[in-house]
Every structure is written in C-alpha cells, then in structure tokens.
Structure 1
Amino acid sequence: MSHFRFPRSFALPAVLLAAALPATACGGHGAAAGRDPGSAPATTATAGAHVTVSPAAERKDVAPGAPVRVGVTGGTLAAVTVTPDGKASDGVTPVEVTGALDAARHTWTSDRTMTPGTAYTVEVTAEDGAGHRTRTTSTFTTAAAALVNGVTPTPLNHAVVGVGLPVSLAFDRPVAAADRPAVERALHITTSPAVPGSWGWLTDPTTGVQRVDWRPDAYWTPGTTVTLTARLSGVGTGGGRYLRRDIHDTFRIGTARISYADLRRHTLRVTEGGRTVKTLRISAGRPEYPTWNGRMVVMDKQSTVRMTSASVGIATSQDSADFYDEDVKDAVRITTSGTFVHAAPWNARVMGISNASHGCIGMDTADARWFFDRATRGDLVITSGSTRATVDEGNGYGEWNLSIGQWRALSALG
C-alpha cells in the first residue's frame, strides 16, 4: 500500500493522519501565575502526577484549528481521548480528535482540526512513578462557523471508473491561496498497488469552479484500488469560512478504454487494453467551430441532452444559420465547455469525409449507440489534427495535457 498526501461527506472513525491549521492561541481565565493561561490543571488523587489540558476547561470559543495539548509532570500519560458530545450546533456529526504522545509519554498533541460548534470532552489517564493511575476529564466547545464551505468529491460510492479519472474535490467557494496548503495537508490518497501522483489546484474556465485534483503520474492501471481520506472538518478556507465534514471513499479502476480521434482522417479508433476494438467514422468541428485538441476524459453520459447554440455562445437568434435547439441522443460529455461525443444523424452524409459540427464529435446513430453503451466515466478521448488549441487543464479533466512537472507545480505544498 502507498500513502500520498492529498458534500457531502461522511464522519470518519479516528485514525492517526497529520492535518492541522495554523493554531489560534487559546486564552484562559482563572489561571495561576506562571501557568499556561490556555491550560487547566487536573485535580488528581495522586500527588506525583499533575495533568494539564489546553484548551482550558469550559472554554466556549475555541478555534476549530487550535491544537489540543495534554501534559503531565510527576508521571506519564497512559491514554488520551478527545471525543465530541452529541451533534455540532448546525446538526453535523462531529469528528473525533486524534493525536500522538511524545516518546517520553509526557505530552499528547492533537494532529487534526475539530468540527466547529461542537462540545468536546478530553479524558486523560495518567500514571505516577509508583504505578498509581488517575483519570482526569475536561470539556470545551469550539466556536461555531459563521460561514461554511462545501466540497463535492468525485468519484464516490465505490465506483468503477476509467484509467483517466483523477480524484477530484470541487469547492462551493474558492479556497484562499493562504489556506490551500492546510486543505491539501488534510487530504490523503491510499492505493493498491502503489501509485505515484500529486495534488494540483485548478479553476474551470467555463464554470469558475475551483478544484483540487489528485492525478497519478501516468494513467491508472486497471484493477487498482484507490481510497480517499479527507480530514476536512474544521479546516478554514479563507474569509472565516470553514469546511464541516470529513470524506472517506474507495473506488476501483476498470477497463483501460482510450479512444483516438483523428480529425483529419475523420475517424475515432476505440481501444481497450491497448487493442483496437473498433474504428468509427466521425464528423468533428468545422473550421469556424473547431474541436479541442488534446486529452479529454469522459465526465458523464446521458441518453438525451438538449443542446442549444445559445448555451455555448454561438447563436441566439433563430434567424442565424448557426442556430440550433436539438434533443441529442447518446451524448457522452468530455468537457465542461460543452464538447460531447454523440449521435449526429443530420450529418450522416459527411461522416468519415469532412468536419461539419459546431465542435462536438458526431457519428451515425448506430455507432453513437455502440460508443455510448461502452463509455465509462474516466475513459480517455484523445483528439489530434484540429486547428484549435489544446484543451485547458481545468476544462473538465484536462490535466492530462500537462507534463508531470507542470502538474506537480500546481500543488500548494510545492
């Protein structure tokens, strides 16, 4: 297994993974002179073991990114737990707070953020030199999030996907540049077998949606199992806006299906496992509306899609020769800007002869149905021979058009 850094998401069981925001100092009240004002001394039955907990007991305004620290003098720490008491103030299921002991077992420090608006209980078991144990309990509450952010992960629900699909998290609102490193540190990818790759930050030029994607260095190998663990509850995204839920999901890589569209020869060669299974006659974008060049990834497919010239900024007037408003069959989307592979019976006479579309890749009805039935999210469609530029890396999953070095440069962690 390999471990790589990386809603509607899910609460996770406690696991020891590093994820923390810059800490906000926790003030206290009623602290004795010379003592950490953010700590609460524990009252123990054994004089030799003295426990302190930060944040201080009964604090009501603890920043979700603040660290929880437990210390002991005159003994060692045997166990520390930090658990939520019920739901968060906004109804979200809170996360447990994980952490680690130092080698001497004198301090315990949390290693992740906490759910906003949540009451937490710290339970500490300490042991003195004579072997006497004592238990200490302290409670505090994290500040509620005045503003929240959401994230949509892809893929989900134990999906089986094609070899080109990255792990992708799309944010409801952009993450500020200063907060992207903390978000990225909260993201983890585990693969079997081991696969090298990296996170990169993108903005879709059509929708304006910001994403952080994990792309392997090369296309996935069929049969690979991929697990996403995103410890995002309590991570700030800028402007006082917080993420509220963790995410955990696993998916698997299926058939290596890659299709090559030669726009000069007007063919689409479909391969599976490196073997050509069929070559289809196509008609792509005509000179005024050329199809994108480059590597594109199947995003989804629909048996019928209403396509209009107005939706892609071509023509709004019905008097225009370029106006269209059609229910298009067997449509496989490969960009967010509106590029599909679909049935185009109106261009049947030019299939395999010339390019006559408004930018999509069209084929006759029977071929379109064959392609549609096989297409899976994550399959690759690679086009060449167009006069248009290479598709933008944020337009759908266009990041395969970047070199490994270019892709890794988009990580917030350098």
Structure 2
Amino acid sequence: MFRTFGISASRRSGALAAPALLLALALGAAACGGDDTSSDGAAPGDGGPAATASASAAGKVTVSPAAGKSVAPGTPVTVTAAGDTLGTVTVTPKGKASDGVDPVEVTGKLAADGHTWTSDRTMTPGTAYTVTVTATDAAGKQATTTSDFRTTAAGKVNGVTATPLNNAVVGVGLPLSLAFDKPVADKAAVERALSITTTPAVKGSWGWLTDPLTGIQRVDWRPDTYWPTGTKVTLTARLSGIDTGDGRFLRRDIHDTFSVGTARISYADLAKHTMRVTENGRTVKNFKISGGSSAFPTWNGTMVVMAKQSTVRMTSASVNIATSEDSADFYDEDVHNAVRITTSGTFVHAAPWNDRYMGKQNKSHGCIGLSDADAKWFFDSAVRGDVVVSTGSTRAVVDKGNGYGEWNLSADQWHALSALA
C-alpha cells in the first residue's frame, strides 16, 4: 500500500514518537507578567537613574544598554570599566518574559585587559534584565554596580521542533533535526547558535532541507557515516532571541541528549523481491517481499524509520491514485504493523492480500509489503532511526528532504548544505 501524510490511524503504537517534520511542539505558555521594576524602584523607560553603585566604582563602570532602555533581543550587552578591573558580570532575567516563556540568562566574555565585558548571545524577547557588575580599583577596593533594561517583545514568533528528545535511544541513521514553523531567512544566525557534542567524537555537519511534500524547513546534523552504536549526543541550541528573518523571533533555548542503539539496517532488493535485515553487521532475518508495481514503484535509495503505527488507514484517494470504487486501483484498507520510512507515505507493512506474490512480483502501490508474521517481527524490532536501503526499483532515488533522505548525499554534498559552509 502507498499513502501520504495526513491519513488517519485507527490505533497507534506508543513505541515511537512522531518525527519532527510531522509534529509541532507546544511552545507557548500562559502569559505571566515579568517584573519591570529597576533596582531603585523605577520601571525601565520611566527615566530612572542609569545605575546604582557603591564605593569608588560609581561613575567608573558603564553598562550598555543604559538603564531604562528597551532594546531588540539581539542587542549586545557591554560593560566597560574606566581604570578599574572588572570582576564578575551577570545579566539575569527578572521573572518570566511577557509571553510567559522562561527567559535565558545572558553569557559573555571578559577581554584580556579586564576592562571590557561583552555578551556572546541573544536575549529572550519581552524580558526585564538586571546587569550586576563587580569591579576593583587600583587601591584594591571592590564595588558593585547594577543596571536594569528590557528587551522588546516579539511581534512575530517562529516555533521549532527538535528530534529526538528526552534521552531517546535511536537507530544509527536518525539525524539530529530541528524543524521550523516558518521558513528561516537568516540560516547562518540560527546555525551559529547550535552546538553538538558527541561521545565518542563523531564528524558531521549541519545541513538545511525542505520537505517536498509538507514544505517544512529544517536543519539537521548528520554524521558523515552512520552513528556508531553507543554514541551519546548532546544538543545545545541557544536560540532564544534570534531573529529568523523579517522580525520573526525564536523564543526558547533547547538542551537535550540522546543515544544510539543497535545498528539495524535492512536491504530491500525490489528486483529479487527480498529484504535482508542486519543487526550490528550480522544478518538476522531474510524476508520475501512484494514492493511497488511498475505503475507505482517503490523509491530507490536510503530511507530511515520515522515512526510506526499498529494500524493505519490507507486510501487510494489520499494519494490521488483512484477515488472511485470502480477503479482497479481503488483501495481503502486498515493496514497493520506499519513502519513509516518517508513523509510521502512509504511504509514497510503487513500485506496479506499479496501473500501469493511475496518473493515473486511487486504488486503494491509503493510500499514494501510483508506477510503478517514477518511484518510483526519487523514492527516489533524497529526503532526510529533504523535504516532501510532500497535497490532494484525503476523509481528515482528518494528526495533528500522526503523523510530523512539526506543519506542519499555524500558527506561532501551534505556539508555543502550548511549555511556556514
């Protein structure tokens, strides 16, 4: 069977979470007003004093943005000390952002001479911040300076969905993926805010893709070759306050980890009507299959398990094959043990109606069909990120953005899709 995104499921498996490009995270939160009061009781913008200070630091430390100012989230924070030496500098949010989001604390770096501190990231929109500075004069006397300012609220926002999340254990082919609600114009700004660490060290790159079916844009981090089994991956995405283009802001940072499990790679030969399943390089199963017919061939190329559902309703109308029951290609079926490998609707699933063709002919509408018993084994074993390599079909190689089709690119081709290449 062959179906596209949007077909309903009557029963769903809880074994796998849906992929990023098919999901939307609930990024909003209940509105909660932040504390707009500066250190002296005046609200930013009310013309309060620029800072409060103690001892000899008064007049020697300058903070920008000045107290009471309302600035864009991407505005750098700088602290300078005339003659004194800076000690600690903190830029701390006061309460929640105006839209209820938990704002980020702003980090920065101290210059080698000890007289200038500059922030190294963007700030959360709609947030009141307090800058607290300690400085020491030539006589060794320390003083503290504080100053308050506020970031402007985001008139437009962009949501982002990360995959995988929550310490998931995934297959060797699943990239780290961030999908955006709206297209990103300033891809370089987003990519500069992303950091990935792996244990052991793994070479790879970020790359930008657009799903040809849904139009969803995403940036994925893909290793040059499949993940080594046992790899631990940590993502740090300092996205809060980044303008993705035309004043549309991201509001949250993302921090998450996942790990890589069994190297499960299946090889479907559409010409021989067989599929061989390997685990950590060892063949564990050989199946007879029936793939897509000559009229509706299965994709060639490398695909990745995105999700699985115990029952999926598949219809010919949903893929514009046939809408009339009079058509020989009409179907409307509840399909069991369905493992999705493309956004466009390619599954590995049970196809008992084609049992007589298993191992002999390709008779499906694009999916890879198995017997009931074989489909159950494959379904029970599959996890997000497992790899399915399809060869011997008359159809083209699957598009790089159709599911996780990026494995059909060489490492050099993939690196070229980075906005910082």
Is this a same-fold pair by TM over 0.5?
yes
In the alignment, structure 2 segments of 5+ residues that lack a partner are 1-24, 29-44
Task: Give the superposition deviation at 1:29.
Answer: 11
Cα distance in 2 between the residues matched to 1:331 and 1:357: 14
Q: Secondary structure at the match of 1:46?
A: helix
Matches within 5 A, 1:144-163: 144-163=153-172
Matches within 5 A, 1:69-108: 69-108=78-117
Cα distance in 1 between the residues matched to 2:51 and 2:138: 19
Q: Which residue of the other structure, out of 322, 341, 361, is the alignment partner of 2:368? A: 361
The answer to whether 1:211 aligns with 2:218 is: yes
The answer to whether 1:228 aligns with 2:235 is: yes
Matches within 5 A, 1:128-167: 128-167=137-176
Residue of structure 2 in register with 1:21 after alignment = none
The answer to whether 1:254 aligns with 2:264 is: no
Q: Secondary structure at the match of 1:70?
A: strand
CA contact (8 A) 1:48 1:74 kept: no
CA contact (8 A) 1:170 1:211 kept: yes
The answer to whether 1:398 aligns with 2:405 is: yes
Amino acid in the other structure paired with 2:105: E
Q: Which residue of the other structure, out of 250, 253, 257, is the alignment partner of 1:243? A: 250
CA contact (8 A) 1:8 1:245 kept: no
Distance verdict in 2 for CA 1:48–1:241, change over 3 Å: closer
Q: Secondary structure at the match of 2:187?
A: helix
Q: TM-score, normalised by structure 1?
A: 0.90
Q: Which residue of the other structure, out of 56, 63, 74, is the alignment partner of 1:53? A: 63
Distance verdict in 2 for CA 1:97–1:47, change over 3 Å: closer
Distance verdict in 2 for CA 1:265–1:47, change over 3 Å: closer
Runs of 4+ that moved beyond 4 A: 39-44
Task: Give the superposition deviation at 1:318.
Answer: 2.1
Residue of structure 1 in register with 2:184 after alignment = 175
Paired residues in the alignment total: 382
In the alignment, structure 1 segments of 5+ residues that lack a partner are 1-6, 11-27, 31-38
CA contact (8 A) 1:49 1:75 kept: no
The answer to whether 1:411 aligns with 2:418 is: yes
CA contact (8 A) 1:267 1:352 kept: yes
Cα distance in 2 between the residues matched to 1:259 and 1:383: 8
The answer to whether 1:315 aligns with 2:322 is: yes
Task: Give the superposition deviation at 1:48.
Answer: 8.6
Cα distance in 2 between the residues matched to 1:320 and 1:268: 30
Deviations 1:124-169 (A, max 9, x none): 0010011101111100010000111100000001000000000000
Amino acid in the other structure paired with 1:266: H
Task: Give the superposition deviation at 1:45.
Answer: 2.3
Q: Percent of pairs identical after alignment?
A: 73
Cα distance in 2 between the residues matched to 1:55 and 1:213: 35
CA contact (8 A) 1:41 1:50 kept: no
Task: Give the superposition deviation at 1:76.
Answer: 0.5
Q: Which residue of the other structure, out of 267, 270, 282, is the alignment partner of 1:275? A: 282
